[in-house]
Structure 1
Amino acid sequence: MREFAKISCSIWGSEKFTGLPNDDARLLYLYLHTCPHVNSLGCYVLRPGYAMSDLGWDVDPEGAIRYRNGIEALSKANLIGFDKQHSLIRIVDFLKYSPFANPKHAKGALRILDDLPDCDEKSFLISDIERQKHLPDDFLGHEFDTVSIRYQNSSDIPETRDPRPETKGRGGEEGTRATAVADAPSPGPSLVSQLADALGFNDPDGRGWPKYWAAADAHIIASRWITDLGLTASEVIEVAVSNAKAHGTPANGPRTLTRHMQAFAAAKNAPPLEIPAQPTGGLTHDRAIARDRRQAAADDALQRRLYAAARVD
């Protein structure tokens, strides 16, 4: 059990923290940093009963609702990641503020990692660890059983995480199962890099990126704009740049941009616009005029798609 926890005094100026819906959520966030279960990775299994007992919510008939609502609020604010199946808590950016101090610290933390249940939150944690100093030389070559998020349809990309992990088998029938990562195409990383270039915040090591674009799930979400929505890379970049120009900033992250991508895909797949024939008054129109009208209609449809992608809330 850790003897102390680091919580920045700037938390009281954090819009994410102060913007939480109630004091229950804020208390729960502080509890997750300081409870007896927290470890040097900021990622651990926490059974609801233990937390409710520590917080004194177990005597409240609605204690379970308070806890669930608090977890959902923190997940939606991207202050924590949560795996419901394993009751696994991952404090977002924990290692950013409590990094490994030395090789011994890193070695002890990696022993904790081995014991964590396999789920998508563990995948996100490994991505965070890879950015740390003092890692053993063989860490990047070490195999961890992890899985990635699988969603049923494009509207399932949540603000509140609801992971549906698959088991990565080790033999027999289970060994034939492939994870979502193995099944899905992988345009994500290169696409995110192209977006970074187009939006003007790219640099060789990615340190200048907004944190929601540098997060591990940015690649997963971006790849699904292509695999699930049927967009091309050039269309994705076109929508992102159009949205940035409309708002005067490239700050919108992948989750917010998903709504714009969905709107663009809907407009793209909409039936052709039917333009009622105009009375000709007995005049005969040549092919050049008809071709000009078709081009004008196509240009109008494109402008409507771009407007919908840039203006959707």
Structure 2
Amino acid sequence: MPYPHAGSVAPGPIAQEAAQIIYQHRMLSTRQLHQLITPHHANSEYLRRQLHTLRAAGLADTVGQRRHGQTELLWWLTDKGAQAVESVGLLPSRPYRMNATTALGPLRDHTLATVETGLAFVTHARRLRHECGPLDWSPENAHAYRDEARPGEDLALIPDAVLNYVHTDRERRTRTMLTFFIEVDRTQMTIARLAAKLHAYAAYEKFVPQPVGPRARRSPAAPAWRARYPAFPRLLLVLTGASPSRLERRIADLRSLAASDPLLNTTPLRAGVTTLEQLSDQGPFAPVFTPVLGPNAHTDAWLRTTHPATPLPA
């Protein structure tokens, strides 16, 4: 039985869905799980009962954190719970394991902020009747690349998340699959390091692996990203962890550093930056993004405003 139970209480479908989501995203709060799984319920009481069946069966555990003057539970899977999810075979295997120490460690707030970013997409997809669910983003998948500025080094680009979203235009009867690289910045790193991440995305966009053996003579070289994506994903940077005025200054500083990077100015990278508060309140298809390159004019997640030197189709 994939999901063992304690006594006569077996984890039901909602609890099993929660286990899949927790496995994918490592750790979530009760509030986040409620908004992702049971938003049609007025409160989270039903979901909490389901989650406690996971804990009673030894599949999940919790730690508490203070939020708005109250204690909020954060949920993560035990080794037993992770093995139960993996035995079902619905999700790619993830070797990372949480425990009480890591759940209270320095990566906790970043993990929750990344979930909050995905939650903003899910919430507004429901409102707009688009498609984006709790498993439509995946955290920290490595992308191998090389950078001409660092010859001989094998590098790895690891987005905080890669998110898939189906945008539906009912008037035009079109459905468009959009893929986003997500970077969440809690103002814990220097602005120079954040700009270096932008540079890494531009280097990955240009990276062309060199085929070896007979294939080198038969196949034309293609960018590495084409093996994973039909089009190069848009890059969304989501800032949080500081006052709105400080985040606005951070956006301005990031744009200045990006404008001085020759590589960023010669690649068709679509990158936009916003705050988590704006994204959560207004949604990704409101004009909440500032392009990292080009005109300082707000746009939405389509990022149609681009650098004038590298025009892109709408």
Q: TM above 0.5, one fold? A: no
Q: Which has the larger radius of gyration?
A: 1
Short-chain TM bin: under 0.3
TM, length-normalised to structure 2: 0.26
More helix by share: 1
TM, length-normalised to structure 1: 0.26
More strand by share: 2
